[in-house]
């Protein structure tokens, strides 16, 4: 099994060259996201690389029950992107999206 890796610095360079003012970059790290902190030379998939959000799948490597999706985003975008999700298989109420200051 292999995962595709987008070249975030090259994408950022194209955005800068085309002078695209308002933009949003989401990194789908569903396969490799859980191992990035443990790799000696990981691809740049962090907020410091210019992404606005990243998704990882907990059920692929940490043994979390299916499905287990995790999305991390910049703090100022939480209210815009976040929403409570109620799974029909869940017996617990959905977690509320925290308010931002």
Residue 75: CA atoms inside 13 Å, Cβ hemisphere, count? 3
**Between 51 and 5, whose confidence is greater?**
51
Whole-angstrom distance, CA of residue 20 vs CA of residue 82? 25
Q: At 69, give phi and psi (nearest 5°).
A: -110, 140
Pull the structure tokens for residue 78.
């939480």
pTM summary value? 0.67
pLDDT value for 101:
47
List, for residues 21-73, the tens digit of each pLDDT value: 889 998 888 777 777 778 888 877 788 888 999 888 877 766 677 777 788 88
């Amino acid at each position: 099994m292999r995962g595709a890796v987008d070249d975030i610095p090259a994408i950022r360079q194209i955005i800068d060259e085309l002078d695209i003012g308002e933009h949003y970059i989401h990194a789908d790290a569903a396969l490799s996201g859980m191992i990035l902190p443990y790799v000696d030379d990981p691809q740049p998939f962090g907020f410091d690389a210019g992404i606005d959000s990243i998704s990882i799948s907990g059920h692929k490597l940490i043994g979390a029950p299916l499905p287990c999706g995790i999305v991390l985003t910049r703090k100022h975008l939480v209210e815009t992107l976040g929403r409570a999700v109620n799974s029909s298989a869940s017996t617990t109420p959905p977690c509320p999206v925290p308010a931002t200051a």
